[in-house]
Structure 1
Amino acid sequence: MELGNETARPVTVNEFQRHPKDTGSPDVQIARLTTRINHLSDHLSAHKNDFHSRRGLLRMVGQRRRLLIYLSTHAVERYRAIVDRLGLRR
């Protein structure tokens, strides 16, 4: 089983942390979900009939969307910054 996104995790977390031990802020969660979504999208382009992974992808996209909505209502500047840095459509 390949876990290609494990090596990308520290870079993503370090970029978006608000303090050294921050792992649960919406910024970090959105960045980690984006990394996992991109990895899983690549997997699904090669394995079109992997419906279990597709369900997981849709679940992650929904979770990221909810976190983005939360961030947009509570901290608009951080929301705009994270959307720009990750290159998300909004």
Structure 2
Amino acid sequence: MTIKEQLFDEIESTPEDLLQKTLDFLRLLKTKPTTNQINTTVTTVSHPAQSTGRSLLEHLKTIGNWEGDDLEECLEIVRTTRSQAKFDQPNPFDM
């Protein structure tokens, strides 16, 4: 019997509330980064650029000013298309 078949057999006799927790956990596992991804991230983060306040200010001087007439249009698009954050849903991972 395959693992998938064993899971189906267990699902048949599992209460609904436990199925919900199992589904949440499975989704968490599927989105969790792999060990290889974690090692890559740690390696990348372990050598940050040595920026100073002065170097950041010098960089800002090279960026320049906003040029164009579409700033208000861009801001309006952002305001009308962004989604509202909802914090009224219970966290499925709180036990």
Q: Under a length normalisation based on structure 1, what TM-score does the superposition of the two structures give?
A: 0.27
Q: Which has the larger radius of gyration?
A: 2
Q: Which has the higher contact order (CA 8 A, sep 6+)?
A: 2
